[in-house]
Amino acid sequence: MSEKKPFNGSKKQDTGFRKTSDKPGFRKDGHKKDGSRSADDKKTGIKKDGFRRDAEKKDGYKKDGFRKNDFRKNDAPRGGGIRRDFVKPHAEAPEKTREEMPTTNARKVALQIFRDVVRKDAYAALSLDEQLKNANLTQLDKRFCASIVYRTIENLIRIDYALSFYLKDEQKLEEQVKDILRISACQLLFHDRIPANAIVDEAVKLTRMLGLEGLTGVTNAVLRSMVREPERVQWPKPEEGAKYLSIMFSVPLWLAERLVEAYGETEALKICSYRSESHYMVIRPNLSKMDDAAFEKLLEKKVWEKEPGLVPHAYRVRMASEIARDADYLGGNFSIQGESSMLSAQVLDVKPGMQVLDCCAAPGGKTAYIAESMNGTGRVYAWDLHEHRVTLIRAMAKRLKLDNVRPVVRDATQLKEELISSMDAVMLDAPCSGLGVMDNKPDIKYRATLESVKELVGIQEKLLDTCCRYVKRGGYMVYSTCSMLPEENEGQIKAFLERHPEFVLAPLPHTVPEKFRAQYGENGLQLLPHRDEIEGFFIAKLRRVK
At 123 the pLDDT is 92
At 460 the pLDDT is 98
Domain ranges of the chain: 39-237, 280-331, 337-544
Pairing of the two strands 405-409 and 423-429: unpaired
Residue 93, classified by CB atoms within 10 Å of its CB into exposed (0-12), middle (13-18) or buried (19+), is middle
- H helices of 311-424, in order, are 327-330, 339-348, 365-373, 387-400
- pLDDT tens digit string along 142-199? 989 999 999 999 999 999 999 999 998 888 899 999 999 999 999 999 987 889 999 9
At 454 the pLDDT is 97
CATH of domain 337-544: 3.40.50.150
Q: What is the DSSP letter of 437?
A: G
| Cβ-proximal residues to 265 (8 Å cutoff; 6+ apart), any chain | 241
Across 74-83, b (16+ Cβ under 10 Å) vs e yields bbbbbbbbbb
Q: List the pLDDT tens digit at each of the 546 positions of the chain.
A: 444 444 544 333 333 333 333 333 333 333 333 333 333 333 333 333 333 333 333 333 333 333 333 333 333 322 333 233 322 232 333 444 444 566 789 999 999 999 999 999 899 989 988 998 888 898 889 989 999 999 999 999 999 999 999 998 888 899 999 999 999 999 999 987 889 999 999 999 999 999 999 999 999 999 999 999 999 999 999 999 999 999 999 999 999 999 999 999 999 999 999 998 777 999 999 999 999 999 999 999 999 999 999 999 999 999 887 898 999 999 999 999 999 999 999 999 999 999 999 999 999 999 999 999 999 999 999 999 999 999 999 999 999 999 999 999 999 999 999 999 999 999 999 999 999 999 989 999 999 999 999 999 999 999 999 999 999 999 999 999 999 999 999 999 999 999 999 999 999 999 999 999 999 999 999 999 999 999 999 999 999 999
At 90 the pLDDT is 29
**Catalytic center residues:** 482
Say how far apart CA 412 and CA 368 lie, in whole Å: 19
Q: What are the two backbone dihedrals, phi and then psi, of residue 529, each rounded to the nearest 5 degrees?
A: -55, -45
Residue 158, classified by CB atoms within 10 Å of its CB into exposed (0-12), middle (13-18) or buried (19+), is buried
The pTM score is 0.81
Nearest to 189 by CA among 85, 70, 103, 66: 66
- H helices of 164-315, in order, are 175-190, 196-209, 216-228, 242-248, 253-263, 265-273, 292-300
Q: What fold characterizes domain 39-237?
A: N-utilizing Substance Protein B Homolog; Chain A (1.10.940)
At 7 the pLDDT is 52
Paired with 381 in beta bridges are 357, 406
Residue 39, classified by CB atoms within 10 Å of its CB into exposed (0-12), middle (13-18) or buried (19+), is exposed
Q: The dihedral of CA 289, 293, 298, 303: what is its sign?
A: positive
Paired with 423 in beta bridges are 471
At 447 the pLDDT is 93
Say how far apart CA 102 and CA 195 lie, in whole Å: 12
The arrangement of secondary structure in 280-331, i.e. its CATH architecture, is: 2-Layer Sandwich (3.30)
Residue 268, classified by CB atoms within 10 Å of its CB into exposed (0-12), middle (13-18) or buried (19+), is buried
Say how far apart CA 323 and CA 329 lie, in whole Å: 7
Residue 319, classified by CB atoms within 10 Å of its CB into exposed (0-12), middle (13-18) or buried (19+), is middle
